[in-house]
Amino acid sequence: MKIKLKIWRQINAESKGKLVDYSLDNVEEDMSFLEMLDLLNEELILKGERPVEFDHDCREGICGTCGLFINGRAHGPLAGTSTCQLHMRSFKDGETIYIEPFRGGAFNVIRDLKIDRSSFDRIMSKGGYISTPVGDAPEANAVPITHDQAESAFDSAACIGCGACVATCKNGSAALFTSAKITHLAKLPQGKVESRARVLKMVEQMDEEGFGHCTNTLACQVECPQEISVSNIDRMNWEYNKAKILGKGD
């Protein structure tokens, strides 16, 4: 396959970036999208040019490191697929592909396609946990959790924290990311205890970071590689209102 590329190049957060044209002549259909970028970088290095910086690690769709805006869509054209699991067979011979970093909300470009998502960690540190001491815990089977309850909690817990939801949202909202954690923990008996304090603190941090508001466009759900449902946002709003009205205690 022959592929034309328009890739966002930006030296650092302060500088202005631009799209730069490249072309590759020997792309194979079985290559992953990131392997195509590896190929480009090999060529650039040997030509003495600066290779394209991009985020990636596990290359099996679970670490959440990679994230590219491909032809105007977070993680590219396939539903439920992260950038690293996208393969070149999803593109046509001779096609021009636009590659940009995830932008929006509190995300900043570090260089080229690499971004700063530390805001997600700060949201998590405000309450994305159950305050259980490490080392000792009650017997695991002491509190039964129904099969459906556990599966439903898992659906929310499956978020990989890639930021596609933010990048694709016209408001740059982190509602899907934040709500998935709030919902995962609120659905389990162990997490219910502090669910009110949790939702207030996490939402406050989300706002403080500069993420936008959710206006229910549902775009986040469409682009999420883990197919996290927007019903998590409903649950977050419900938990939030409950906490606001009833207070942290009861």
Partner 1 sequence: MIQQELREQLLDAKIPEGPLAEKWSRYKATCRLVSFNNKKKLDIIVIGTGLAGSAAAASFAEAGYNVKSFCFQDSARRAHSVAAQGGVNSAKNYQNDGDNIYRMFYDTLKGGDFRAREANVYRLAECSANLIDQAVAQGVPFAREYGGYLSNRSFGGVQVRRTFYARGQTGQQLLLGSYSALMRQVEAKKVKLYTKHEMLELVTINGKARGIIVRNLDTGKIERHGAHAVVLATGGFGKIYYLSTLAMGCNGSAIWRAHKKGAFMACPSWTQIHPTSLPQSGSHQSKLTLMSESLRNDGRIWVPKKKNEDRNPNDIPEEERDYYLERKYPAFGNLAPRDISSRAAKEMIDAGHGVGPMKNAVYLDFKTAIAEYGEDTIKERYGNLFRMYEKITGINAYKQPMKISPAAHFSMGGLWVDYELGTTIPGLYSLGECNFSDHGANRLGANSLLQACVDGYFIIPYTIGNYLADDIKTGPIDTSQPEFEEAEQHVIKNLEKLTKIDGDRTTDYFHKKLGKILWDNCAVSRSEKGLLKAIEDIKQLREEFWQRLKVPGTPQEINSELEKAGRVADYLELGELMCYDALTRNESCGAHFREEYQTEDGEAMRNDEDYNFISCWQYNGFDQEPILHKESLHFEEAKVITRNYKK
Query: Contacting partner 1 (CB under 8 A), which of 5, 24, 31, 166?
Result: 31
Indicate whether 60 belongs to the interface with partner 1 (CB under 8 A): yes
Residue span 33-52 as binding mask against partner 1, x where in contact by CB under 8 A, dash where not: -xx--xx-xx-xxx-xxxx-
Q: Beta strands 68-70 and 96-101: pairing type?
A: antiparallel
Supply the angle between the helices 118-125 and 175-186 in degrees, to the nearest 10.
Answer: 30
Stretch 146-175 residues interacting with partner 1 (CB under 8 A): 146-147, 149-151, 153-154, 157-158, 160-161
Query: Contacting partner 1 (CB under 8 A), which of 14, 21, 94, 144?
Result: 144
Query: Contacting partner 1 (CB under 8 A), which of 15, 23, 96, 125?
Result: 125
- Report the C-alpha gap between 178 and 200 in whole angstroms: 11
Query: Contacting partner 1 (CB under 8 A), which of 5, 10, 56, 224?
Result: 56
Query: Contacting partner 1 (CB under 8 A), which of 1, 53, 222, 237?
Result: 53
Nearer to partner 1, 48 or 94 (CB): 48
Stretch 170-199 residues interacting with partner 1 (CB under 8 A): 184-185, 188, 190-191
Indicate whether 245 belongs to the interface with partner 1 (CB under 8 A): no
Indicate whether 235 belongs to the interface with partner 1 (CB under 8 A): no
Indicate whether 204 belongs to the interface with partner 1 (CB under 8 A): no
What's the gap between Cα 250 and its chain centre? 34
Residue span 211-230 as binding mask against partner 1, x where in contact by CB under 8 A, dash where not: --------------------
Distance in Å, CB of 217 to partner 1, minimum: 26
Nearer to partner 1, 89 or 170 (CB): 89
Find the part of the chain contacting partner 1 (CB under 8 A) among 69-77, 80-88, 97-105, 230-238.
Answer: 80-88
Q: How far is CA 5 from CA 49, 69, 98, in A?
A: 16, 13, 6
Indicate whether 121 belongs to the interface with partner 1 (CB under 8 A): yes
